[in-house]
Chain A
Amino acid sequence: MFCFTKRLLLVVLLACVSLGVPPKAHAAEPGSYTVEIADVSNSGELAASLKEKGYAASVPAKNMWVVDQQSNCAVWIGRNVPLDMLRVVIPEAIKSNPYLKFFYVVGDRGEKPPQSVDNTVHVGGSIEAALVKKLNVIDQKDMLSALNKASDLAALHQYLHEKNKPVKDEKDKDKAAP
């Protein structure tokens, strides 16, 4: 009887673990990765929505570069953040901020951010940084399509790498006034 109870409890526990957690989040190891959301407009709602889906999401304190949805229109993607998690977070972020237009894998240009950044998606990066990096605008539909089509994380990273390649003879931010 006692053994049966133990076995029953074990089965129930395993069932809870395997069924109670959203399958996508489960695959993304939600405890290991985080979403940071710039404090603009409805960022609190986005954080709550992602938390409901099992992800660790936070809205850090504002700094002077956190302005509004239009100026904070970049998504900085940590290189270790799993594809399954991105497939949940980025569509939600786009729904929350229709101005998101820069999507960049941190480290794609050889930067070496702190390790925690590799495990973080930052929604609401500054357009100033996107322009300094000479990133290219990625249409939201294209981004969502790429998310769905990517066979694995490396494929998505490669897509973003290609899309963000500096355009020849493009705008020079340091150019003088006319």
Chain B
Amino acid sequence: MMKKLFAVLTCLAMVLALSVPIALAGRPVADKTAPTTTASPLGGTFTSAVTVTLAVNEAATTYYTTNGSTPSTGSTVYSAPLTFSATTTLKYFSKDTAGNLETVKSQTYTISGGTSTHATLTWTGYSMCSTCHTSQAQAMYQGVHYQWKGSAAEMTTGPTTQGKMDATDGSSALNAYCINIQGNWGPCGACHAGTGAKPVATANPSAAQLASIDCLMCHADATNAPYSRVRNATTGLFEPAAGLNMNLVVQKANQKPTRKNCLGCHAKAGGGDAVKRGDIALASGTTSDVLYDTHMAMGNGGNIQCQGCHTFTGHRVSGRGSDLRPEDSTLEVTCSTSACHPTKTTATGHVTTAVNDHISRIACQTCHINKYGKNANDTAATEATETNRNWQVAEWNATLNRYEPMPTKANDLIPKYAFWNGTSWGNNALNAAVLDAATGAYKISRPVGAITDPAGTKLYPFKYKTANQALANGKVVTISTATFFATGNYDQAVKDGMVYMGLPSTTAYSTVTTDELQVLNHQVPPATGNVLACAACHPNASATQLKLITNMGYALKAAQSVVCIQCHTLKAYSGDYVSFHGRHVDTRGNDCSWCHSFSRPEKGLKMP
């Protein structure tokens, strides 16, 4: 009996032993081997520009950087040989289709015999830049400056990629200026960092596509060899203006952008100097008025170039306006760099304890930008910024031979304030419109954040901008700017816009107010005599700049008869804000949540 049982078990064991390898053989063997990428030639010293090829031993995507930073899967994808004309450190790795990651490799290509070959260049056309600076052109091509579209990782609304291009997939931003660019790429594209054609989104741009980047818009020497461009009357594409010594322009174009380069577009956003941003104007590039902007002013100012704060990494720039959909870089702009204000965001960085108490929740800009839309004292322009755009009223622009909506402009405006955690809410083309009961207007853009947020969210100053726009079928109408410009006929422009949105032109519409908030970062005056004093915000009744209790959520969480008796009998408020707050917070160490509807756990105070 036992022998039979043993024999059966032995047979079973043999069958199992034989079947397992068969079963395993039927399943694919998991690929756990990282790909291997080889650079050719390897790093070394070269007497002239070197072209480097990256080859990988299996199907994989190769990522690289050329600025010394460690590449990630968010870095530039290798697609074509890279040419280095200056000493460059190339870092790269590949990821295969199974997801295996190669360890990052690094090669340094040292170009001897001078770092600048520009001095002997002869202008042959826009393609000459990307021929030598291929990797830079490829990086630029993917950037927001070129694509006008990019990662919407900081947006709480809409698809993962958003921007300004006129798409009907929900990715096209609206604003309270030109609304969106549908039908108007030409003039809008005048500020595009390309030669005029619409950019094509592709991970592997061709040489011809790279040649459509106009590197000179940012890299020309605006002082010693100014570059200007003009549309070709036949092709509509940009070309150097007649009469320029383009050899000199390109020979001098081996420099980083200056404020003049950047402001040539950024100051004119929205259709004119200072129109859109409220804290940027052409004056930001020329003024010596430190009260206008102590960071950028020349003379006694800092004369800081834009990239002094907006760090560029692989042609991607840090910093994003709260109303902008795409972010070009995940790096953030900060005031407290080692070179600028290293201690100002620490708990002891300011002179007084009271100010230091604000640091964790109040952005630097809130106290240091007391007003916006300022008028520089040494320019002819007013630098007034647009506060409203009325599409119902048309005015004639003689230069453009067209109608434009009526703007309202103003100087020296007091900011609006809001808590901001760095992400934004935006209404894009074809989105359902959302009415903001607080402002009575339909929201175009909002910073996201609340007084109850965890540490990291801070109070920021914003420009407030409204517009009179059409609303149909619950959506803000992407008005046909082309129709409006040609006819000044608001009704027809709205109808054409509705057709673009897929609505019958007979759809009933109304005209509503829309609004948006735009974070303010520039026009910081010297702190002395200009930074907001305590009385700007405290106490609420007499606050001149910001009423915290009335507008910002700092009211008591319940009636005094409820709040006070948590600890003691009901007492009359003395009216001395400093003494009152000091007694409860500084002396007794009570957390805010005893009396308010928010907490500040980072202060380590006593919780209820």
Contacts and interface: CB of A to CB of B under 8 A. Distances in A.
Interface of A: 36, 38, 60, 63-68, 70-74, 76, 99, 101-102, 104, 106, 109, 111-114, 117, 120, 122, 124-133, 137, 171, 173-178
B397 A63 contact: yes
Nearest to B211: A178
Interface in B262-282: 268, 271-273
Contacts of A122: 398-399, 401
Nearest to A120: B398
B399 A177 contact: no
Contacts of A67: 228
B236 A68 contact: no
16 contacts: A63-B272, A64-B268, A64-B272, A64-B273, A65-B397, A71-B230, A113-B396, A127-B233, A128-B190, A128-B231, A131-B233, A174-B198, A176-B198, A176-B200, A177-B198, A177-B200
B186 A111 contact: no
A173 B399 contact: no
Contacts of A126: 399-401
Given A70-B242, A177-B198, A109 B486 contact: yes
Contacts of B402: 129
A128 B186 contact: yes
Contact of B400 (A65, A102, A137, A176): A65
B241 A70 contact: yes
A111 B400 CA distance: 13
A173 B272 contact: no
B206 interface: yes
A133 B196 CA distance: 16
Given A63-B397, A102-B233, A178-B208, 10 more contacts: A65-B399, A68-B241, A74-B401, A76-B398, A109-B486, A125-B398, A130-B233, A132-B485, A174-B198, A176-B197
B401 A70 contact: no
B446 to A, nearest CB: 28
B186 A132 contact: yes
Nearest to A99: B242
Given A64-B272, A101-B233, A176-B199, A129 B487 contact: no
Contacts of A171: 234-236
B241 A128 contact: no
Contacts of B197: 175-178
A132 to B, nearest CB: 5
Contacts of A137: 233-234
B198 A175 contact: yes
B137 to A, nearest CB: 13
A173 B186 contact: yes
B206 A178 contact: yes
Nearest to A114: B396
B312 interface: no
Nearest to A170: B234
A125 B268 contact: no
B209 A177 contact: yes
Contacts of B509: none
Contacts of B314: none
Contacts of A112: 487-489
Interface string B388-428: 00000000111111110000000000000000000000000
B228 A68 contact: yes
Contacts of B241: 68, 70-71
B216 to A, nearest CB: 16
Nearest to B486: A111
Given A71-B230, A101-B233, A171-B235, A36 B398 contact: yes
Given A175-B197, A176-B200, A60 B230 contact: no
B349 interface: no
Q: Chain B interface secondary structure, helix, strand, loop or mixed?
A: loop
Interface string B193-205: 0111111100000
Nearest to B190: A128
Contacts of B235: 171
Interface in B343-400: 396-400
Contacts of B482: 132
A126 B486 CA distance: 15
B199 A131 contact: no
A111 B487 contact: yes
Contacts of B233: 73, 101-102, 127, 130-131, 137
B212 interface: yes
B187 interface: yes
A60 B187 CA distance: 21
A178 B209 CA distance: 6
Interface in B203-236: 206, 208-209, 212, 228, 230-231, 233-236
Q: Top 10 closest A-B pairs, CB basis?
A: A177-B197, A177-B212, A178-B208, A70-B230, A65-B399, A129-B400, A173-B186, A173-B236, A176-B198, A128-B187
Contacts of B209: 177-178
A174 to B, nearest CB: 5
A128 B400 contact: yes
Nearest to B199: A177
B270 to A, nearest CB: 10
B99 to A, nearest CB: 33
Contact of A174 (B186, B200, B403, B485): B186
Contacts of A130: 233
A123 B155 CA distance: 45
B230 A127 contact: yes
Contacts of B196: 173
A132 B89 CA distance: 45
B382 to A, nearest CB: 11
B236 A129 contact: no
A38 B398 CA distance: 9
Contacts of B486: 109, 111
B231 A125 contact: no
A109 to B, nearest CB: 7
A129 B212 CA distance: 22
A131 B232 CA distance: 9
A99 B231 CA distance: 12
A175 B206 CA distance: 16
Contacts of B230: 68, 70-71, 127
A175 B237 CA distance: 10
B123 interface: no
A117 B399 CA distance: 12
